[in-house]
């Protein structure tokens, strides 16, 4: 199993938004939104580039804390 960012997976032609959506059990429009919003989505893929699962990596805390 390999890890690859969503953006790299799509930009390098490893698969389509439809293929990702089918692997994750979501609509293609959800994948499109993840891509357009430049979210840090990491795909876990097998040897045949099939998407097994995904996770979003975000810093903690995820929101900026404003100084008083």
| Cα–Cα distance for residue pair 44/6, rounded to 1 Å | 10
Peptide bond just before 61 cis, omega within 30 deg:
yes
Is 22 part of a structural domain of the chain? yes
- The rounded distance, in Å, linking the Cα atoms of 9 and 16 is 8
pLDDT band per the 50, 70, 90 thresholds, residue 10? very high
Which helix (H) or strand (E) element contains residue 34?
helix 28-36
Helix (H) / strand (E) containing 23? helix 17-24
Structural domain boundaries enclosing 30 = 2-56
Q: Is the dihedral of CA 2, 20, 52, 5 positive or negative?
A: positive
Q: How many domains in the chain?
A: 1
Q: Is residue 64 part of a domain?
A: no
Model pLDDT for residues 15-66, shown as the tens digit of each residue: 999 999 999 999 999 999 999 999 999 999 999 989 999 999 988 876 776 7
């Amino acid at each position: 199993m390999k890890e690859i960012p969503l953006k790299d997976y799509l930009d390098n032609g490893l698969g389509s938004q439809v293929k990702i959506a089918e692997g994750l059990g979501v609509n293609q429009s959800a994948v499109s939104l993840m891509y357009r919003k430049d979210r840090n989505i990491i795909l876990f893929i097998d040897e045949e580039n099939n998407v097994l699962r995904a996770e979003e990596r975000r810093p903690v805390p995820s929101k900026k804390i404003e100084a008083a």
